[in-house]
Amino acid sequence: MDPPVSLDVQALTFDVFGTVVDWRSGVIREGQAMLDRPDWPEIADKWRGLYRPTIAAVTAGERPWGSFDELQLVMLEQVLSEYGITSLTDAQKMELSFVWRRLAPWPDAAPGLARLKERFVVCALSNGSIWQLIQLARFGKLPWDSVFSVELFRAYKPDPRVYLGAAELLQLQPSQVMMVAAHVYDLRAARSNGLMTAFVARPHEWGPNGAAEVPEPNEFDFVAENFVDLATQLERA
Amino acid sequence: MDPPVSLDVQALTFDVFGTVVDWRSGVIREGQAMLDRPDWPEIADKWRGLYRPTIAAVTAGERPWGSFDELQLVMLEQVLSEYGITSLTDAQKMELSFVWRRLAPWPDAAPGLARLKERFVVCALSNGSIWQLIQLARFGKLPWDSVFSVELFRAYKPDPRVYLGAAELLQLQPSQVMMVAAHVYDLRAARSNGLMTAFVARPHEWGPNGAAEVPEPNEFDFVAENFVDLATQLERA
């Protein structure tokens, strides 16, 4: 697709879980280290699968606002109960729920961000909490200019307040901000609020056999294979 | 002074203007480059001198909330008018008001922060806006984990909401957070809200002949000569 003739974007905001970090491998590894079972890949997917309906319930007002840390623990207890896992102590469950602070970045993420940061302000814009995002950045040496969380707006993505709130904090027009994500629902919401959009493919987010998200043709401003590819494309734009 | 027996601090929050960056030299340099006058040091001090009464008026509800960027322009116009300077265009005044995004750190600041970051989460906690803080960090290569601005709380320091709000975003008790500043008013407010405190001397903040702030004996938990000294003291604590 042809890039816009003159790119006025000054800041890039990034989805984090799935787009920057590989949650699935981390959850499986820590789960397995805590309790030896063959089905951690499935448990990981179920746990992550509860995420969208749970935050949708917050957005719909059916569930009170809770931080992502709190919601992760609630969802973990739900999935452990579904699998009949009763041997973990409360402290263990709490510890496992903190895995969302200790997830490795995809290999291209940190070097790609460093290149993108040369020209653009780069900020996380995630459903994760500020504290999770800070810990993830320290864990993976992610060179953010700053981390923005939905908790600043008390609304989860894809609520418009998240995208418009980030642009306001950046003192930019929405069109001067580009959302980068591996999830079309996030980018569609960003686009409908006036942000530029870049889709980055993460075909292994849900494991080797997981379904890869595929955007419609020309749906987003940029489509990249990874962060390094995105940097290359934006350097030419 | 003896450090606390066991230091439970997990995050350090930093005042920025005066504590991390040298506003005075930057304002004088950019003012002089724009308009050749001998009295830029005095104008710089007057401009900065309007800061406390102006934000106090916001805190007292006598002035509506405005970002620090907006307030800087208002204060600049006030001081230029006081000095009878009428030759600057609106665009020039706007540009000069943006100097608060382009101020060099004190020489110890970036290396000191890098050392402190090895053990602690390090965040700006400033009356500056998020955008100013991001630009300052890029300008001076400051390795923040994240930048927190009073605009997240819509209250200027020393309002308690700023200190307690930062601790809440960090998911820490106030006593697990240490405020670092060169200004006693800021540290006294932090302390009265339960935060730990570290005073860092910046005797040249107001120039070679400016008055240096001096805390009362034992008033704060740590007193350091600069950020590198603070890192050394905290590594021993």
Domains of chain B are 11-22+103-236 (3.40.50.1000), 23-101 (1.10.150.240)
Distance from CA of B96 to the nearest CA of A (A): 17
A129 touching B, CB under 8 A? yes
Q: Do B130 and A146 lie within an 8 Å CB cutoff?
A: yes
Q: Do A169 and B130 lie within an 8 Å CB cutoff?
A: yes
Average pLDDT, rounded, for chain B: 95
As for the ipTM of the complex, it is: 0.94
In chain A, which ranges are continuous DSSP H helix?
23-34, 40-49, 51-59, 68-82, 90-97, 109-119, 130-140, 160-169, 184-192, 227-236
- pLDDT band at B2; cut points 50, 70, 90: low
User: Which residues of chain B have a CB within 8 Å of the CB of A129?
Assistant: 171
Mean pLDDT of the region B6-35:
96
Question: What gap in Å lies between CA A223 and CA A10, rounded to an integer?
Answer: 18
A153 touching B, CB under 8 A? no
Q: How many CB pairs under 8 A join A and B?
A: 48
For residue A3, the model assigns a pLDDT of 53
- The size of chain B, in residues, is 237
**Is pLDDT above 70 for B4?**
no
Distance from CA of A233 to the nearest CA of B (A): 23
3-state SS, residue A180: strand
Q: Do B169 and A131 lie within an 8 Å CB cutoff?
A: yes
3-state SS, residue A17: strand
**Is pLDDT above 90 for B5?**
no
B138 touching A, CB under 8 A? yes
CA distances for A43 relative to A37, A40, A106, B180, angstroms:
10, 5, 21, 44
A98 touching B, CB under 8 A? no
Task: Name the β-bridge partners of B125.
Answer: B148
Contacts 24+ apart (CB under 8 A), A224-228: A224/A198, A224/A199, A224/A200, A225/A200, A225/A201, A226/A106, A226/A108, A226/A112, A226/A200, A226/A201, A227/A106, A227/A108, A227/A109, A227/A111, A227/A112, A227/A113, A227/A115, A227/A116, A227/A180, A227/A200, A228/A108, A228/A111, A228/A112, A228/A115
A73 touching B, CB under 8 A? no
- The size of chain A, in residues, is 237
For residue A211, the model assigns a pLDDT of 86
List all residues 6 or more positions away from B189 whose beta carbon is below 8 Å from its beta carbon.
Answer: B157, B158, B159, B160, B163
For residue B212, the model assigns a pLDDT of 84
List all residues 6 or more positions away from A159 whose beta carbon is below 8 Å from its beta carbon.
Answer: A59, A150, A153, A189
Choose among B129, B144, B169: nearest Cβ to A130. B169
For residue A82, the model assigns a pLDDT of 97
Distance from CA of A193 to the nearest CA of B (A): 21
Q: Do B129 and A171 lie within an 8 Å CB cutoff?
A: yes
Residue A71 in tokens = 């919601």
Choose among B131, B137, B152: nearest Cβ to A171. B131
Q: Which residue of B has its CA nearest to A131?
A: B170
A144 touching B, CB under 8 A? yes
**Residues of chain A predicted below pLDDT 70:** 1-6
The dihedral through the CA atoms of A219, A221, A224, A227 has a sign that is negative
Express each pLDDT in B43-78 by its tens digit. Answer: 999 999 999 999 999 989 999 998 899 999 999 999
- pLDDT band at B7; cut points 50, 70, 90: confident
For residue B134, the model assigns a pLDDT of 98
**Is pLDDT above 70 for B1?**
no
Mean pLDDT of the region B128-140:
97
A169 touching B, CB under 8 A? yes
For residue A2, the model assigns a pLDDT of 53
